Amino acid sequence: MAMELEQVFVLDESLEEALGTAYQKMDLARASGDERARALCLIQAADAMVQMDRPDEAMGYASEGMGLCSEMKFEEGRAAAMIIMSKVHAKKGRDEEELEEAEDSATDALKLSRKLGFRKGEAVAHTALSGVYRASKKAALAIKHAKEALVIFAELGEKRSMAVTYDTVKSAYLAKSPPESFLAAKQVEKAAALYQELGDKAKEAACMHTAAVVEKDAGDVKKAAEALQKARDLFAQAGDVRGQGMVLETVMGMLLDGGLYREAVKVGKDRVMLFNGAGDAGEEAKAMVKLGDTYLKSDDHERAAKIAETALGLFASISDMEGLKSAKELADSASQAQKAEEIEASVAKAAEHMHVPKTLLVDPGLNKRIAEQFVTAITM
């Protein structure tokens, strides 16, 4: 089936799946000579890419799509391409000039979509402008445009697009100074209600997790904990193991922030076992690294070293080079901490038999040279 105009924007789909679909349909369009469909596929691929943090590739695809649309005088397609280009400029956001280009592209796309009666393009242009204004620290304008997008999606009856846009409104409220956390949380609740209505437990769970993070950042630990529990239950009902793991990782972070290392370690172990039971070696190894970091924070260097070694083996078994790098960094940190511990123990032991000034009982990380000289002296 050829790509249609209404399908061109990637709003609530899996980015990987959307990109894969765009590639497949692009090949079909090229084979059949359907340049209109090929242009739309290029634009959809660009939209997925920019959301996957691949802005340079996205710009190439969007520009090619724009060129085809201009040749065919396909104005709706041209408006869609302009929206994606705006997203690319906003994603890069290296300077004020880039953000101005993003604003200009989105504004032009909004005007063109409105002129053509391309309502979905108009709505997505509003969300693009909201993102630009958020990056430019113009929160009031970001909120205004996100809400205008909501109105249009509601008129179109696109509940999933509405749910995604509520998240855009949430981000705009959090961009205010100070952040309006209460109103931000309300937007997430509205999105969750829509997903509940649609029977999408995994998306509803993701919303509850987002709400928990908003509440945590606002300092309401009780509300955050309640939202996290609900998120975990919903992810479990949806059979989403990675979602459950994400919730547990957030719980670990909250416990560590509160200095509750023992409790954080327990949750970290539960997270490792969760992925182990699901047979997800990659996520299990990542969970081990996270647990190892927690061991380091609680000064349990021996356990940190052991779990780093196990994680290295798992990452090697699935040829995950990035994972191997993170596990190696953990192993190195644990090794350094163990050596520092040994030096400290040697100094303390010597101090039992000598009058050693307290100024010499130093953290080797702060004054490594003095510590090494002292250890050399007492072991000769």
| pLDDT 10s digits, 4-30 | 888 999 999 999 999 999 999 999 999
Confidence of residue 373 (pLDDT cuts 50, 70, 90): very low
Give Cα 229 to chain centroid, integer Å: 20
pLDDT value for 341:
73
pLDDT value for 3:
76
Percent of the chain predicted with pLDDT > 90? 85
| Integer Cα distance of 78 and 354 in angstroms | 81
Confidence of residue 372 (pLDDT cuts 50, 70, 90): low
pLDDT value for 380:
41
| Integer Cα distance of 204 and 181 in angstroms | 19
Q: Residue 366 above 50 pLDDT?
A: no
- Which of 67-81, 150-164, 363-377 has the lowest average pLDDT? 363-377
Asked whether the beta carbons of 292 and 332 are under 8 A apart, the reply is no
Where do we find the tokens 């396909």?
74
pTM recorded for the entire structure = 0.82
pLDDT value for 376:
47
Q: Residue 312 above 60 pLDDT?
A: yes
Token digits for 187? 């937007």
Q: Which domains does the chain have, with CATH numbers?
A: 1-199 (1.25.40.10)
| Integer Cα distance of 299 and 123 in angstroms | 52
Token digits for 180? 């309006």
| pLDDT 10s digits, 109-122 | 999 999 999 999 99
If DSSP codes are grouped into helix, strand and coil, which group holds residue 137?
coil
The end-to-end CA distance of the chain, in Å, is 80
Confidence of residue 335 (pLDDT cuts 50, 70, 90): very high
pLDDT value for 374:
40
pLDDT value for 324:
96
| pLDDT 10s digits, 289-305 | 999 999 999 999 999 99
Q: How many CA atoms lie within 13 A of 30 on its CB side?
A: 9
pLDDT value for 377:
41
DSSP percent split of the chain into helix, strand, coil, nearest 5: 85, 0, 15
Q: Residue 375 above 50 pLDDT?
A: no
Confidence of residue 379 (pLDDT cuts 50, 70, 90): very low
How many C-beta atoms surround the C-beta of residue 198 within 10 A?
A: 14
Asked whether the beta carbons of 261 and 294 are under 8 A apart, the reply is yes
Q: Residue 370 above 60 pLDDT?
A: no
Averaged pLDDT, 152-170? 97
Asked whether the beta carbons of 29 and 38 are under 8 A apart, the reply is yes
Q: Residue 343 above 90 pLDDT?
A: no
Look at the chain and count its residues: 380
| pLDDT 10s digits, 246-279 | 999 999 999 999 999 999 999 999 999 999 999 9
| Integer Cα distance of 100 and 86 in angstroms | 9
Where do we find the tokens 């509440």?
215
Q: Residue 131 above 90 pLDDT?
A: yes
Averaged pLDDT, 155-162? 97
- Which of 92-96, 135-139, 372-376 has the lowest average pLDDT? 372-376
pLDDT value for 339:
84
Q: Residue 172 above 90 pLDDT?
A: yes
| Integer Cα distance of 68 and 233 in angstroms | 48
pLDDT value for 92:
87
Q: Residue 64 above 80 pLDDT?
A: yes
What is the residue-averaged pLDDT of the chain?
91
Token digits for 226? 């309640």
* Residues in Cβ contact with 276 at an 8 Å cutoff, skipping those fewer than 6 apart: 284
* Long-range CB pairs of 163-167, under 8 A, 24+ apart, other chains included: 163/12, 163/190, 163/191, 163/194, 163/195, 163/203, 163/207, 164/11, 164/12, 164/191, 165/123, 165/127, 166/190, 166/191, 166/194, 167/191, 167/210
Averaged pLDDT, 284-293? 97
